[in-house]
């Protein structure tokens, strides 16, 4: 199995609901450094997993939808805690949709799985990984 990974980041404000979050129930924020991994069993004719240039652009565009925002005001997240693990899944779904739309090129259809990891500090991270149906 081959994997290719690209990294970028975004910066948001948010707050959490629930006593489990302690002081993180207050409005605060985070920088998320994002690693996006693409997996496939065989390389394409060019010898790549995915066009890393287009992958980086797709990631940047998707992070741009969230970057410099207060996620508490985002209608699509209403009633949800935008935890690091939750956001990993949100980004996974958006990249998977981009992949299906062909935003990463026709050859990228060979990608069979992805993993999205969000590093929220030097000591904590979360990720979501799944097959691409």
By CB under 8 A, name the binding residues for a second copy: 1-9, 11-14, 16, 18, 20-24, 26-33, 43, 46-49, 51-53, 56, 67-70, 80-86, 88-89, 105, 107, 117, 119-130
Question: Please, which residue, 93 or 120, has the CB nearer to a second copy?
Answer: 120
Distance, in Å, from the CA atom of 11 to the CA atom of 7, rounded to the nearest integer, reads 14
Shortest distance (Å) from residue 71 CB to a second copy: 9
The two structure tokens encoding residue 47: 């010898």
CB of 103 to a second copy, least distance (A): 14
89 C-beta neighbours (distance < 10 Å), count: 16
> In whole angstroms, how close is the CB of 100 to a second copy at the nearest point?
20
Q: In the numeric block, which tokens belong to residue 51? A: 């066009």
Element (DSSP H or E) covering residue 99 = helix 84-101
């Amino acid at each position: 199995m081959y994997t290719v990974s690209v990294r970028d980041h975004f910066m948001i404000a948010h707050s959490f609901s629930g006593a489990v979050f302690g002081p993180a129930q207050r409005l605060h924020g985070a920088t998320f450094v994002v690693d996006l991994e693409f997996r496939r069993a065989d390389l394409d004719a060019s010898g790549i997993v995915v066009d890393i240039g287009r992958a980086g652009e797709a990631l940047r565009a998707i992070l741009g939808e969230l970057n410099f925002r207060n996620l508490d005001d985002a209608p699509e997240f209403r009633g949800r805690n935008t935890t690091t693990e939750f956001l990993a899944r949100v980004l996974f779904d958006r990249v998977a949709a981009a992949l299906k739309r062909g935003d990463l090129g026709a050859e990228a259809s060979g990608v069979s799985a992805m993993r999205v990891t969000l590093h929220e500090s030097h000591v904590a991270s979360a990720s979501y990984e799944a097959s691409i149906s």
